[in-house]
Amino acid sequence: MTEAEWRACTDPVAMLEHVREQAGDRKLRLFAVACCRHNWDALAQDSSRDAVEAAEQFADGEIDAAALRDAWGRTTAFTCESLARRAWSRTRCTTGFGGSVTISI
């Protein structure tokens, strides 16, 4: 992809594929972190922001994969718990549905 093609490109997948050919894992991880930081205000929960910071630390070799999984696990658990509560509050009166969700990371 030339610079002109890059500037004119509107397909983010094509752009990422081009970058992937030239960048290593660290740069791609930091690119993902930068995308999250660009939308920082949309991350309403501290656990989500902590997970992004953990991803940055992992990319820089400051934490190991287990610490990264733990950080993402906290945000996933919180999100799933919140969604389950909302779904339960909307459905329990009419359907009586209840249950649990398990997510593996």
Consecutive 10-residue runs of the chain (105 residues): their mean pLDDT? 85 80 83 84 86 93 94 74 51 36 34
* DSSP one-letter string for 29-77: HHHHHHHHHHTGGG--SHHHHHHHHHHHHHHTTSS-HHHHHHHHHHHHH
- Say what the pLDDT of residue 66 is: 94
- Say what the pLDDT of residue 57 is: 96
- Say what the pLDDT of residue 103 is: 33
- Say what the pLDDT of residue 72 is: 87
